[in-house]
Amino acid sequence: MKYVLMFIENEEYAAALAAMDQAETQAAYAKVGQWFADHADVITHHAHLAPAETASTVRLGAGDPVVTDGPFVEGKEVVSGFVEIDVPDLDEALRIARSWPACPIVEIRPAA
């Protein structure tokens, strides 16, 4: 079954990452690289997203569509990337998500 794991950053995580020195940043990215290597056999696609401030949003409603610059919500959490995995069941998707070494929130959704 295919699932999408969305990696979500919050303000605290972004601040902690920004405060890291070069060695700490390299170590953090090495952990992420190792996570990808450890799960390469089930990852079918992945992408890192550009920062939220680069987003454009189209709001559809009763009138004409409204296009704005920026993320779709004024939130304190933003999706920074995702992977699609192909695993037997939700339990395996949860096991993989629990091992994610970076962003503090991972949302899991079945892919249709």
105-110 and 43-48 strand pairing: unpaired
73: pLDDT confidence band, cut at 50, 70 and 90? low
What is the Cα–Cα distance from 90 to 21, expressed in whole angstroms?
A: 37
CATH architecture designation of domain 2-110:
2-Layer Sandwich (3.30)
Helix (H) or strand (E) holding 51: none
| Cβ within 8 Å of residue 111, ≥6 positions away | 2, 3, 4, 84
As a whole number, the mean pLDDT across the chain is: 92
pLDDT value of residue 40: 98
Q: Which of 24-28, 75-79, 81-85 has the lowest mean pLDDT?
A: 75-79
The set of residues, in sequence order, having a beta carbon less than 8 Å from that of 89 and lying 6+ positions away, is 1
Decide if pLDDT at 72 tops 80: no
Using one digit for the tens of pLDDT, what is the confidence trace for 7-20? 999 989 989 999 99
